[in-house]
Amino acid sequence: MEQHETMDRQSRPYGPSPSYILIPLLLLLVIVAGPIDCKPPNILFILADDYGFHDIGYHSSEIETPNLNRLAAGGVRLENYYVQPICTPTRSQLMSGKYQIHTGLQHEVIYPEMPSCLPLDDVTLAQKLKESGYATHIVGKWHLGLYKKACWPTRRGFDTYFGYLLGSEDYYTHKRMGGLDLRDQEEPAWNYNGVYSTHLFTQRAQDILRGQNSSQPLFLYLPFQAVHDPLEVPERYLQPYLHIKDEKRRIYAGMVACMDEGIGNITQTMDQLGLWKDTVLIFSTDNGGQIYQGGNNWPLRGWKGSLWEGGMHGIGFVHSPLLPAKVQGTINRELIHVSDWFPTLVAGLAGGSLNGTKLDGYNMWNTISRGDPSPREELLHNIDPLYAPPTTHSMPVIRAKVFNETIRAAIRSGDWKLITGSPGNSSWIPPPGSGITPPTPHDPPDKMVWLFNITADPNEYYDMSSQRPDVVQRLMQRLQYYYEGSMPAFFPPLDPRANPKYHNGTWSDWEK
């Protein structure tokens, strides 16, 4: 033994053994950085429906949102953040990381009887997170197609699904146009009549959290029905807002309060279960508020469905105990778009691979967590050739070979935003009862081109298209570039086979 010991010592290289160095270093790392944990963070993504820019407390709203305010105040508020003007397009870009022009969903929404969905060859955010070992759940509104079961969230990467395949359901009966639209996995969920959907979705999210294996990272996608119409809310949420004389605004305010309460309950449950310390929460709206249904986007111009800022300048923030202290409680004004969440969550948070995906989004995690400049310098809001006026009302719209100013489109490049075609209602609408007198738009009816310096003029008061024809020309060329690379808009006629009377009173698939 002594001989062997002597030989071992003589055979060692000069200097201390690597173990003598590595062990103290590892201990130092544990002391400084805490225990080594390779598990990616939990991701809670909350999407509010038709939630207006003015309707969150920290935007000086008369609607109180204490939980959202608290989370935003301790996180990173995104104040140069964009979504799409209506429901399906925002959800398609979140799930695919692609502009609408690259999925064929650039025109309107997917209607209940429409044989359409997010293209089946597009890999979804949920599928990529599953590749990184995540448990994936969706609770709430899908609105990315139902005509084939292959379109359903259970077939697009989600382990569990509870919610609506469509939109605009009654909050209590969960029906739309006479058909039940509530699914638990793939089965109709008949047993929840009379349960308010915001409460229902909150409770299901809490149930999922209580059953979560803490050793596995969690992706919980929570696209609330709130605060989309119909305007319905339990009476107790109206009490703080009885002073609001406008009935729609009053009910809408109660719906916001109920959603805020639900979000507070969910985050509290995560904290009680020990999940919160390892969680990144993202909050976003899907589009601007609907003025006719109580929402408000003041001081922005326009509303839901428009290419003005009120239609798509979104509310957004990120909150997490994992964020560095230097960015907690800050406002981020870097340009960020809803399509950016796909690479941000997959590559930036989950550490997953983006191989096999062709994305329009950018990984924004360093921008959010460190305050780095945004890698995004340009943002295509949309190009919708189906809004181009036909030669006669009886003729279909024919796709133009060259992009022109009659086509409905908008693009952001640096400080500049160009709008063409028919952008939607151009009014500024102050909150009901505010006493504010807004400016009046004076655009001629045949106007087709607007140019704004959005950084200097975020409310779009000063059209600069005549002063800066050079910028107009440059951005028109960029729209032509995107137009050449776009897919034809897919907007098929409605199919009567979708009628719930053929599916036991439910909205369901009707093609194999």
Residues carrying an active site annotation = 87, 143
d(CA 419, CA 219): 36
3-class DSSP state for residue 386? helix
d(CA 409, CA 87): 17
Quick check: 155 and 185 in contact, CB under 8 A? no
3-class DSSP string for 112-151: CCCCCCCCCCCCCHHHHHHHCCCEEEEEEECCCCCCEHHH
d(CA 60, CA 54): 7
Quick check: 312 and 98 in contact, CB under 8 A? no
How far from the centroid of its chain's Cα atoms is residue 292's Cα? Answer: 22
d(CA 425, CA 428): 9
d(CA 255, CA 411): 33
Residue by residue, DSSP assigns 462-487 as ---TTT-HHHHHHHHHHHHHHHHTPP
> Rounded to the nearest 5°, which phi and psi values hold at 268?
-65, -40
How far from the centroid of its chain's Cα atoms is residue 308's Cα? Answer: 18
Amino acid code (one letter) for 377: E
Q: How far apart are the first and last CA of the chain?
A: 75
d(CA 145, CA 159): 18
d(CA 207, CA 9): 60
Tokens read off for 370: 């460190």
d(CA 219, CA 138): 8
Quick check: 226 and 258 in contact, CB under 8 A? yes
d(CA 198, CA 202): 6
Closest CA to 382 of 101, 98, 65, 83: 101
Tokens read off for 358: 């062709």
Which stretch of DSSP H or E encloses residue 187? Answer: strand 187-188
